[in-house]
Structure 1
Amino acid sequence: MGIFEPYRAIGYITSGVPFSVQRLGTETFVTVTVGKAFQIYNCSKLNLVLIGPQLPKKIRALASYRDYTFVAYGTDIAVFKRAHQVANWSRHSAKVNLLLLFGDHILSVDADGNVFIWSFKGIEDNLAPIGHIKLDAKLTPTCIMHPDTYLNKVLIGSQEGPLQLWNISTKKKLYEFKGWNSGVCSCVSSPALDVIAVGCSDGTIHVHNIRYDEEVVTFKHSARGTVTALSFSTDGQPLLASGGSSGVISIWNLEKKRLQSVIREAHESSIISLHFFANEPVLMSSSADNSIKMWIFDTTDGDPRLLRFRSGHSAPPLCIRFYANGRHILSAGQDRAFRLFSTIQDQQSRELSQGHISKRAKKLRMKV
């Protein structure tokens, strides 16, 4: 143990791991990872409410349920109740890449295609998984989801292209969807029964009926790159949001089967996750550029506008100085941003440099 121990990272908002959103009473919280720790924000103002402890390795996946946060690091899964670790699950021999909250269970998937099923009733005593599924050797799992109303069933997408439907209580493979000759990068369930959306590495989005194995509609990103995140709106508007590796968010109208709007400069890097809030016209996005943004659909033309956001440097800071008796830190970095960070209250951190530039660029119809 050295003299200095990492306490917390300032200006680190989120890393390249999909966030987890959950509702507690009337409030909505989002859990994000920052390297070896996790942070929880309250979505009403995006203020930081909890910082988890530092783990031995970088977090690779997370899931949350009420007061519990489940984080996968290396081959282990740590279970936290608020900020205190209550259990450590270690059964995997390969790195754990995916976690899925499934009723009273957590499903963990590793790089070798092992799926373990964990129960979190009496977490402190249940340190062994209650079930195990071994996927086909020729499949590399990339995403896992539970289609709504499908009892005990999960759908697993693969890098090779096919998707498989498994029953986790009988541990049998029920069906294989042959896919679209392109790796599956993301999949989500839609508000319509039996319908899911699948994002592929060739930039296509397939809205698919899994009951009849029929295509409903296909969309294609104009920008090159993979479809990294998807989310359906649940507030009555027939919308599907998709994010790609180029940092652009596209909004598709499912009734008219066409592109409704594009948020071009949404993020400076690949979109990691998208989430429409339940019954609200609000979309949340996170990206590898170290930012979380919330977009609201309240304009007459149906275009989303930025509601609130939290961001830090998207490239390494080069010059850092203490300011105001150490209560603040000033920093400038390779991302052409000049920022002020509060060491006491996270909400006071802000960017000082680029505020009006983007507005002026929009007015003059020029690139920033």
Structure 2
Amino acid sequence: MGIFEPFRALGYITTQVPFSVQRLGTETFVTVSVGKAFQVYNCAKLSLVVVGPQLPKKIRALASYRDYTFAAYGHNIAVFKRAHLVATWESHNAKVNKLLLLGDCIISTDVKGNIFIWAFKGVTENLSPVGHISLENKFTPTCIMHPDTYLEQVLLGSQEGSLQLWDISTMKKIHVHNILRDIEIVSFTHSTKDPVTALSFSTDGQPLLASGGSSGVITIWNLETKRFHSVIKEAHDCSIVSLHFFAREPVLMSSSADNSIKMWIFDTSEGDPPRLLRFRSGHSAPPLCIKFYANGRHILCAGQDRAFRLFSVIQDQQSRELSQRHVSKRAKSLKVKEAEIKLKPVIAFDVAEIRERDWCNVVTCHMDTAQAYVWRLQNFVIGEHILSPCPGDPTPVKACAISACGNFAVVGTAGGWIERFNLQSGISRGSYVDTSERKPCAHDGEVVVLLVILPIPS
């Protein structure tokens, strides 16, 4: 491996590719795409158990069966046994967009309407498909499923809005129309009026249907009463990609384009939304600032999504977002989204490991904000002090630094002001003025960088 070759993704939980769920014995696993690689989580604690290697292109579809993972990228399908590539299927001449596990076969479709059937028994010896179906020109497949009790048949949905049922053993299209029951049983409509992007039926005895929309809302419907059951208003920040009810369990898993996987449990009273059981999440928007911490064992990262996060390089389950104190509770009481009351995105920060156990040891500057904030990394929470330089003429804070001793934070503003604060108390300990030029502040223009080279005397 070259020194600058990709190794693994950190803080990358999932993408817009639907996940694949499988059960092995008493345990359930979910396989997710993270760009050019895949990851496998044990659903018991959403702990990371397998990280796949980097592929030449981004993954477009996933399927899994026991120790095998099938990942479509470009025109090809890579077959992995755990994290080891064992075969590559290359018969498609267009981008593969869907994979479906059916018995001991994998069904793949591409954007030009070709369907290939692959037998994965003896996968390393047989690299050719065992069947091929070419769809009509005006039928662009967008989804594929296997209806229960239909032995060797798959149902295809198209971009044009029509459906087709195919028998993969005979390679023939089946025309099915029940004239006797050609009536609509029930229709459900999202209150948000957004498009439905994912569906899942409960299998634990409760007559429930979960539907996810493009706004990140998950709605639960009661199929017995044909009425609304409950809603998870802010389940995700972006469009729902996948929904999956666990077999014979009152647990629903969801994934979203906001880079998160969440598990919801139905153990509340009738009409109440399910409770968040566990989750894994990363930044939902690009990172802005990043630094190593704790001798490279952790990474501190701030993103455009207003989140400030700590990622573990060694144990993925130790990664977490630093708390901004009761954001969920305040958002609920004000009836706004959590992102609206979070601090603005971090544009610069500094950290001192030496004082982690004593007091706040991180200082952050935020976009268009005239104050700097301190954080106590030992407790993963924002500190009680707010640093407000030049209160008589406040301008946005643009740069910050912490002294080597960890006692002081120095902040600089867009107005050229530089001020020193005690991190333990949050009290100002003086400002820096260029006396040689008889200026009222340190610089005529914006302070863009601060660096403490020598210890600052107390």
- Answer yes or no: same fold by TM over 0.5: yes
> Match for residue 227 of structure 1?
196
**Could you tell me how far 1:116 is from its partner in structure 2?**
0.4
Q: 1:345: how far off?
A: 0.6
1:278, distance to aligned residue in structure 2 (A): 0.3
Q: Spell out the pairing of 1:133-282 with structure 2 (5 A cutoff).
A: 133-175=133-175, 212-282=181-251
Matched-pair contact (CA < 8 Å) for 1:13–1:34: yes
The partner residue of 1:291 within 260, 281, 300 is 260
Deviations 1:234-268 (A, max 9, x none): 00100000111111111011111111111111100
Change (3 A) 1:355 1:212: farther
% of aligned pairs identical? Answer: 77
The two structures have a TM-score, normalised by structure 1, of 0.89
Using the TM superposition, give the Cα deviation of residue 363 of structure 1 relative to its aligned residue in structure 2, in angstroms. 3.8
User: 1 CA distance for matches of 2:233 and 2:250?
Assistant: 19
Q: Name the amino acid aligned to 2:215.
A: S
Letter in structure 2 aligned against 1:150: Y
- Following superposition, the deviation at residue 360 of structure 1 comes to 2.5
**How big is the shift at 1:367?**
4.2
Report SS of the residue matched to 2:314.
Answer: coil
CA distance in 1, matches of 2:286, 2:114: 37
- Tell me which amino acid in the other structure corresponds to 1:233: S
Assess, with a 3 A threshold, how the Cα gap between structure 1 residues 293 and 77 changes in structure 2: closer, same or farther.
Answer: same
1:236 match: secondary structure: coil
- In the alignment, is the contact (CA less than 8 A) between 1:163 and 1:176 conserved in 2? no
Q: Distance in 1 between matches of 2:328 and 2:319?
A: 19
Residue 349 of structure 1 corresponds to 319
Query: Hey, what's the Cα distance between the residues in 2 that align with 1:216 and 1:90?
Result: 43
Matches within 5 A, 1:320-331: 320-331=290-301
Corresponding residue number in structure 1 for 2:328:
358
Please report how far the alpha carbon of residue 327 of structure 1 lies from its aligned counterpart in structure 2 after TM superposition: 1.1
Q: What number of residue pairs does the alignment pair up?
A: 337
1:181 aligned partner = none
| CA–CA distance in structure 2, aligned partners of residues 122 and 21 of structure 1 | 23
Q: Provide closer, same or farther for how the CA distance between residues 367 and 134 of structure 1 changes in structure 2, counting only shifts above 3 A.
A: closer
* CA positional deviation for 1:56: 0.2
Are residues 125 and 214 of structure 1, via their aligned partners in 2, closer, same or farther at CA, if it must alter by over 3 Å? farther
Q: Measured at CA, do residues 210 and 124 of structure 1 come closer, stay the same or move farther in structure 2, by a change above 3 Å?
A: farther
RMSD: 1.6
Deviations 1:42-89 (A, max 9, x none): 000000000000000000001000000001000000100000111110
Distance 2:183 2:165 in 1: 15
* Partners of 1:284 and 1:295 within 8 A in 2: yes
* Whole-angstrom distance in 1 between the partners of 2:330 and 2:116: 53
4+ long deviations beyond 6 Å: none
SS in 2 for 1:358: helix
1:294-338: CA deviations, max 9, x gaps? 000001134201000000000011011111111111111110101
Q: Kindly indicate which of the two structures has a greater share of residues assigned to strand.
A: 1
Tell me the secondary structure at the aligned position of residue 91 of structure 1: coil
Deviations along 1:128-170, whole A, 9 cap, x unmatched? 1011111111011010001001121110001111101111111
CA contact (8 A) 1:339 1:353 kept: no
Q: Does 1:31 align with 2:31?
A: yes
2:310 alignment partner in structure 1: 340
Mark the structure with the bigger radius of gyration: 2
Find the aligned partners of 2:151 and 2:294 in 1 and give their Cα distance. 58
Tell me, yes or no, if the aligned pair for 1:224 and 1:246 is still in contact at 8 Å. Answer: no
Deviation at 1:353, TM superposition (A): 3.1
**What is the TM-score of this pair, normalised by structure 2?**
0.71
Contact kept in structure 2, 1:247 and 1:270, CA below 8 Å: yes
Alpha carbons of 1:51 and 1:14: their partners in 2 closer, same or farther (altered >3 Å)?
A: same
Counterpart pick for 1:305 among 265, 270, 275: 275
> Who is 1:191 aligned against?
none
User: What are the superposed Cα offsets for residues 5-53 of structure 1, whole Å, 9 maximum, x if unpaired?
Assistant: 1001110000110000000010000000000000000000000000000
Amino acid in the other structure paired with 1:339: R
Structure 1 gap segments, 5+ residues each: 178-208
Q: Which has the higher contact order (CA 8 A, sep 6+)?
A: 1
Instruction: Quickly say closer, same or farther: Cα 1:367–1:104, change in 2 above 3 A.
Output: closer
Q: Write the letter of the residue equivalent to 1:47.
A: S
The residue type paired with residue 212 of structure 2 is G
Q: Is there any run of 5+ residues in structure 2 with no aligned partner, and where?
A: 339-458
Residues 60-75 of structure 1: pairs in structure 2 closer than 5 A: 60-75=60-75
* Partner Cα separation in structure 2 for residue 360 and residue 93 of structure 1: 53
Q: 1:2: how far off? A: 5.5
- Are the aligned partners of 1:225 and 1:245 in contact in 2 as well (CA < 8 Å)? yes
